[in-house]
Amino acid sequence: MTRARRVVPVLAATALTGVVVAGCDVSENADIERGRALFQQNCGGCHGLAQAGTGDGVGPNLDAAFATARADGMDNDTIEGVVQAQIANPREVSESALNRQRVFMPADIVTGQDAEDVAAYVASVAGVPGAAPPPLGEPQQVFTEQCGSCHTLSAAGTTGTQGPNLDEALAGKDAAFIEQSIVDPSAVIAPGYSDSMPKDFETRIPAENLKALVQFILDAVGGGKGGGGN
């Protein structure tokens, strides 16, 4: 359910080489919890990060990108600096794993305090052994964390544009169609979008949370009774 695109958020794994950052505290006043939410909204559609609950996309998995460096002694302050440098001046990635196009992350996808919070958050969790997200909460929170970086849904207050606007794409659809769109997104591809939505939501989201998420989306789009494709 994600649109094929040439410009995508990608924090290049190559940030770990060729970037010199002082090992000092880059963002002393950063808000890590806020950074987590901003990461999910702006970066989670492309980057896997276990503590954020985001799966792999077209960008590097940030746990994998920083695990070795962290194990070799790179501290949080240095990782934070690397992430901030990549946000401000990202490197081009030669090919997308999904569509073999040259892709790059837009510069300054977040700026100012937002960038500081995101960088501090990533530095605090990326590559940390055993890092895992907190238990899933209410359905709106689940949607925001798992879907909001790619999809617009008015009821959730999300404005993602990488995937279809769900207020429009799911209007008139029933619960079965919405659940299928989450657990088997390859079954029906919305016109104008590629088959690049993560395929692991059925294992990532516990059954009870998935059921509540489907109901939340159904209510949000008007509880339609249709069931056809997009």
pLDDT of residue 161: 86
166 and 73 inside one domain: no
Euclidean distance between CA atoms 193 and 181, whole angstroms:
13
pLDDT of residue 6: 36
Which helix (H) or strand (E) segment holds residue 166: the answer is helix 166-169
- Are 114 and 30 spatial neighbours (Cβ–Cβ below 8 Å)? no
Q: Which structural domain range is residue 109 located in?
A: 13-125
Question: Mean pLDDT per segment of 10 residues, for the chain of length 230 residues?
Answer: 40 41 57 90 85 82 95 95 92 51 75 96 96 85 87 92 93 95 94 87 88 96 57
159 and 209 inside one domain: yes
The domain boundary, picked from 125, 157, 180, lies at 125
83: CATH: 1.10.760.10
pLDDT of residue 55: 77
